[in-house]
Structure 1
């Protein structure tokens, strides 16, 4: 609500009205506040006046640049505020909307001429494509249009009105059982090479900590405190689209909460003590020369073993499994959020948490067994 009624000892009738609302100028959000109005109408008139002033303060240059030209400018000037992976994913969407192979060649249209109708038509033509991919394209276009607003080329972002559809992946997320985890680990160790041993350690760390693959692969021995039983997570690998020699560990984490000290489980500690004696390098996960491993190449190796064993597996599955283990063990949600280092509480609950089918079945059988149903029927009816 932009108009609020507030108690006031100074006012004759005991209350006053205040105006409180947000507005945007060239894509940047601002908040306006003013109080002390004697009547609601006086507050509303003031709000209308200020909104008109702010709307008229928006400036736009005479811009004939195409969407592709603004995209190039964004990559040169505006991309620094985003993380490496975000920009990499933005680049990956380019061929969907620019060039001869694009669904529609939006790239050669002046950006000021691209409105809701054009964009909605573009996404409608992609309704038979994967929804996740379409959502990624929308996010990428949003970054470009917001940059265009800040650059005073346009005044509004038409992308925000677009509805995205597409084919959804309805495949249920597989949760790794402990037996499957041990089988996978043994298969890695059976390769009997330094690199596969390193990958097995990466899988161990992922299973017992829930760390993302980019975080696991960036760990160094100094990040482990074997006396205090902690792990300092403060690096990740930038590797998407890079050659192995260009892969680097950086301290620019996914979010502020991603950088944290987490507990080192005792069972993982014992495995690491053995590995640290075998591995002479500072990098925990590396090849026989101490070089960082490419997570994409590692993923391919894991996929080969997954196919051989018939066990659905990718590294992020370890994070899903870790979270599910916490939920099924009735770990406090706040504790789970801190262990997973989620910036958003809802992420912990809605995206990763997965209660397995057997637990659901057990709950239903418990609630609706004959004796319990009889007991429930004797209780007072809930209103």
Structure 2
């Protein structure tokens, strides 16, 4: 319902203060959240004042204009969405209080955020993690964990595909590794099977693990110290701990090794279709995100090596 076009008195100056009291006392929002609301609503008040508008005369066109201003100033889409959420809640409260006839923010949406780049390790960091030998660890656990790192990084498996591997092929196995053929047969998303080559380092680490693994009656390839199939959570934990022991700057998780596998293969081969097949992506558009990672790698190499790029950098400094 549109409001009347007739001029109205200026909005009471305590509307924002009353709303902040409402969210603090009745909605019991955290103090930090209330502070952010106060900050964003002060910006709303200033925008309205610049347009010579009381808060109850703000229209959707004004909100869109102020959002465009934030966007052009470099505010990230997520930050704009938070501002809009605050303003939208404020005007919704005004409506519930019977102080306005419509919510000017109701149909305004923040710009879509770009798809974030997957996190991948540099080649040196990935090799540093893979080559870690923890002399203080239990030899059984060390052999298992080294094999897990080598398979994740060397084959680009999802953590669910890794934990689903059995020690031997069978009619009931979700996946397995054929060491003679140096191939991993895995069941991926959508129950799609694919075969991934297993590199020499991964095959060597896996053979060392199989030599000490023990109980052959357990079908799972990777098992806990209690003999149960390893969970995804257990793999996340061991990778986090192992990456810290390797001296990496940030903890590593299983999907980071999958991203590293894809990025490093693409950097070396430039064969996007091959990477798509290795990762088991149904759509090549999903794989194309790694071309952005590859470009970042090339851009850094250019900035570090090209004399004109170096001159540009020195000038900028």
Residues in 1 aligned to 2:273 and 2:115: alpha-carbon distance in whole angstroms:
29
Bigger RCO of structures 1 and 2 (CA < 8 A, at least 6 apart): 2
- Within-5 A mapping of 1:161-176: 163=109, 173-176=119-122
* Aligned position for 2:81: 127
Residues in 2 aligned to 1:287 and 1:172: alpha-carbon distance in whole angstroms:
29
Aligned in 2, Cα 1:174/1:261: closer, same or farther, shift over 3 Å? closer
Mapped contact 1:233–1:259 kept (Cα < 8 A): yes
- Following superposition, the deviation at residue 270 of structure 1 comes to 2.1
* Aligned position for 2:233: 296
Mapped contact 1:199–1:285 kept (Cα < 8 A): no
1:231 partnered with 2:165: no
| 203, 214, 236: which one aligns with 2:160 | 214
- Following superposition, the deviation at residue 193 of structure 1 comes to 4.7
Q: 1:354 aligns to what SS in structure 2? A: helix
1:194 partnered with 2:131: no
Q: Answer 1 or 2: which has greater helix percent.
A: 2
1:204 partnered with 2:150: yes
| 298, 311, 314: which one aligns with 2:249 | 311
1:224-252 Cα offsets, whole Å, 9 max, x none, are: 22232221102xxxxxxxxxxxxxxxxxx
Q: 1:127 aligns to what SS in structure 2? A: helix
Q: 1:335 aligns to what SS in structure 2? A: helix
Residues in 2 aligned to 1:101 and 1:307: alpha-carbon distance in whole angstroms:
39
Q: 1:292 aligns to what SS in structure 2? A: coil
Mapped contact 2:120–2:257 kept (Cα < 8 A): no
Residues in 2 aligned to 1:362 and 1:297: alpha-carbon distance in whole angstroms:
36
Residues in 1 aligned to 2:119 and 2:239: alpha-carbon distance in whole angstroms:
17
- Following superposition, the deviation at residue 203 of structure 1 comes to 1.0
| 192, 196, 199: which one aligns with 1:265 | 199
TM-score by length of 2: 0.52
* Aligned position for 2:220: 283
Aligned in 2, Cα 1:125/1:176: closer, same or farther, shift over 3 Å? closer
Residues in 1 aligned to 2:152 and 2:131: alpha-carbon distance in whole angstroms:
12
* Aligned position for 2:189: 254
- Within-5 A mapping of 1:342-353: 342-350=281-289
Runs of 4+ in 1 over 6 A off after TM superposition: 164-172, 364-370
The number of equivalent residue pairs is: 202
Mapped contact 2:151–2:198 kept (Cα < 8 A): no
Unaligned 5+ runs, structure 2: 1-26, 30-77, 84-106, 169-175, 310-317
Q: 2:293 aligns to what SS in structure 1? A: coil
For the aligned residues, what is the CA RMSD?
4.1
Aligned in 2, Cα 1:173/1:229: closer, same or farther, shift over 3 Å? closer
- Following superposition, the deviation at residue 199 of structure 1 comes to 2.4
Residues in 1 aligned to 2:243 and 2:289: alpha-carbon distance in whole angstroms:
27
Q: 1:289 aligns to what SS in structure 2? A: coil
| 274, 279, 297: which one aligns with 2:208 | 274
Aligned in 2, Cα 1:367/1:177: closer, same or farther, shift over 3 Å? closer
TM-score by length of 1: 0.44
Unaligned 5+ runs, structure 1: 1-99, 103-123, 130-160, 235-252, 371-383
Residues in 2 aligned to 1:366 and 1:178: alpha-carbon distance in whole angstroms:
18
